[in-house]
């Protein structure tokens, strides 16, 4: 982009920007002649897709800011009206990140100006409360302002339609087209009043619904340590645990209150190295039965257990299998579902129980739409345990159900690890791992995918690849998506670009037969070796 044209574009954006913070930021960049930084912000627009919007806060069309949010809200309003929701209700929630409340209020103003009705949740609350509220209030759409577990500098914009599920194609493309059609912010009516700020009635209804997750007379003795990871989960989780009659969790006080700067973690994601260190330190002091963590918007649930002399995180696939086994034990009926990047163990559990099972593309936007869904999960710590209440992942209800399971096992002098051992003997040891590469240049991800397509590996860790699928072509049961899936003798690999972060993600699974519990140590050693070697071979094949 020529510098004069770049400056002109930035000045035009500046003239419309309603936020004094980003106005000052952009004016400084223009005055300093920082063409490189301006080009980074004006080389395109933040794309609206099935994850909505997510990106770094700042001025310009490639950042998250009020101008981008107002356009997104105007596009959503236009889409809703084209679909005959002329005066429907749009309910809006938000987390505690920088600018979240402002973005929520801007969205309410745009909806009101478009003739729709808008209602904003009373304060920063977990994303599953918003997902619940959409159906509970009979809304035609919902918006959650959150960047979930992204770095502190990010924010995001997640859209639900009236069925309480996140948007999927073609709705995302239709909304994106309406956003592109917004000529200027001046053309978007934004009254300063006219929308409703909800009271706690919706939250109370959500908490009442959490009672349905647990068995009526179940054991509820498990003691927990809990971290909210500087997010919005604490008060709602504590209220849910108190209603259920569990012992009050011991809080990781340094991470208990919302803080948009996330001072104790580099990435506020329980899966990231170091994020759980304070929780583990608390567990060493109090010796609970279970450690529980939510991500900042509390739609994900992480768990850790004492393994030998210290604490370790359970993988998302391990928690997914444990919850499935618990539901089967309780006599659950309905379909069990997971995404293609999650462990195949769920299918084995469902088959043994005589339950329907489905595999979907990555994301709860797909899992939530499975007909007759009873339980769905994804390896990235997402679990839908009450689809009649929340058609999305829900870190609060998942924590309740897992703590109930830990309590029941405790009453039998057993642990979650004992149940995992039982599942390994019954179905084979399903060991999973991930190769995840974060990049600054998204071109590196495209290059790695291209290399794998043009020079596909024929074996990994000495295991022959028996089937290679390019998921961009779709399959009999899956719509097209950017990904590759390899089936090996006793293993499976899925490679895909992340939909929410600048990462290339490779999901690995090996299955090792186990005859008795005495075989488990050897099986785990074999699985670890295979996963390590698959990582190395795949990294070399992808050039990453």
Q: Give the catalytic positions in this structure.
A: 148
Q: Are 241 and 251 in contact (CB under 8 A)?
A: no
* Closest to 495 measured CA to CA, from 538, 442, 533: 538
| Beta strands 89-94; 117-120: pairing state | parallel
Distance CA 373, CA 76 (A): 28
Residues 6+ apart with CB under 8 A from 471: 340, 478, 480, 481, 482, 483, 484, 485, 496
Sheet containing 310-313, strands listed edge to edge, beginning at the edge strand earlier in sequence: 250-251, 224-227, 290-294, 301-307, 310-313
Q: Are 141 and 162 in contact (CB under 8 A)?
A: yes
What angle do the packed helices 127-136 and 395-411 form, to 10 degrees?
A: 110
| Number of other CB atoms surrounding residue 464 within 10 Å | 10
Distance CA 274, CA 299 (A): 20
Residues 6+ apart with CB under 8 A from 321: 343, 345, 346, 349, 420, 423, 430
Q: Are 165 and 85 in contact (CB under 8 A)?
A: no
Q: Are 365 and 168 in contact (CB under 8 A)?
A: yes
Q: Are 121 and 90 in contact (CB under 8 A)?
A: no
Instruction: Report residue 210: phi and psi, to 5°.
Output: -60, -20
Q: Are 275 and 229 in contact (CB under 8 A)?
A: yes
Q: How far apart are the first and last CA of the chain?
A: 30
| Beta strands 429-438; 459-460: pairing state | unpaired
Strand, helix or coil at 86? coil
């Amino acid at each position: 982009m020529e510098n004069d044209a770049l400056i002109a574009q930035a000045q035009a954006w500046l003239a419309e920007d309603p936020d004094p913070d980003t106005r000052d930021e952009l004016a400084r960049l223009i005055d300093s002649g920082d063409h490189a930084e301006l080009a980074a912000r004006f080389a395109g627009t933040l794309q609206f897709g099935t994850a909505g919007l997510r990106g770094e806060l700042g001025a310009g069309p490639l950042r998250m800011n009020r101008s981008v949010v107002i356009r997104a809200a105007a596009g959503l309003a236009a889409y809703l009206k084209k679909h005959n929701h002329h005066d429907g209700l749009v309910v809006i929630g938000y987390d505690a990140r920088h600018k979240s409340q402002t973005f929520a209020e801007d969205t309410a103003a745009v909806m009101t100006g478009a003739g729709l009705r808008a209602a904003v949740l009373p304060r920063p609350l977990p994303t599953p409360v918003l997902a619940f509220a959409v159906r509970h209030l009979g809304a035609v759409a919902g918006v959650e302002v959150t960047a979930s577990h992204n770095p502190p500098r990010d924010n995001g914009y997640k859209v639900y339609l009236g069925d309480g599920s996140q948007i999927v194609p073609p709705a995302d493309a239709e909304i994106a087209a309406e956003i592109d059609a917004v000529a200027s912010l001046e053309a978007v009516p934004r009254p300063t009043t006219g929308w409703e700020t909800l009271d706690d009635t919706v939250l109370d209804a959500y908490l009442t619904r959490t009672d349905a997750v647990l068995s009526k007379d179940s054991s509820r003795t498990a003691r927990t340590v809990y971290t909210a990871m500087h997010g919005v989960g604490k008060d709602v989780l504590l209220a849910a645990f108190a209603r259920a009659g569990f012992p009050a969790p011991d809080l990781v006080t340094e991470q208990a209150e919302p803080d948009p700067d996330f001072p104790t973690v580099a990435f506020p994601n329980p899966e990231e190295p170091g994020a759980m260190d304070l929780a583990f330190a608390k567990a060493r002091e109090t010796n609970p039965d279970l450690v529980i963590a939510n991500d900042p918007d509390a739609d994900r649930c992480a768990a850790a257990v004492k393994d030998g002399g210290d604490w370790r995180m359970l993988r998302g696939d391990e928690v997914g299998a444990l919850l499935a086994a618990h539901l089967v034990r309780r006599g659950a009926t309905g379909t069990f579902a997971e995404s293609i990047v999650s462990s195949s163990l769920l299918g084995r559990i469902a088959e043994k129980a005589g339950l329907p099972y489905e595999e979907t593309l990555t994301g709860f936007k797909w899992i939530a739409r499975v007909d007759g869904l009873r339980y769905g999960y994804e390896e990235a710590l997402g679990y839908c345990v009450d689809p009649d209440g929340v058609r999305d992942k829900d870190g609060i209800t998942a924590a309740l159900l897992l703590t109930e399971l830990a309590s029941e096992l405790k009453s039998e002098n057993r642990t979650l690890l004992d149940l995992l051992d039982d599942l390994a003997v019954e179905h084979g040891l399903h060991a999973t791992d991930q190769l995840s590469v974060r990049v600054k240049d998204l071109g590196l991800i495209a290059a790695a995918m291209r290399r794998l397509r043009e020079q596909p590996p024929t074996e990994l860790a000495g295991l022959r690849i028996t089937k290679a699928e390019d998921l961009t072509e779709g399959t009999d049961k899956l719509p097209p998506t950017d990904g590759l899936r390899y089936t090996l003798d006793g293993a499976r690999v899925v490679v895909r670009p992340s939909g929410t972060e600048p990462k290339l993600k490779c999901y690995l699974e090996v299955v090792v037969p186990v005859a008795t519990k005495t075989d488990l140590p050897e099986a785990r050693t074999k699985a670890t070796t295979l996963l390590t070697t698959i990582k190395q071979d795949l990294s070399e094949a992808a050039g990453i």
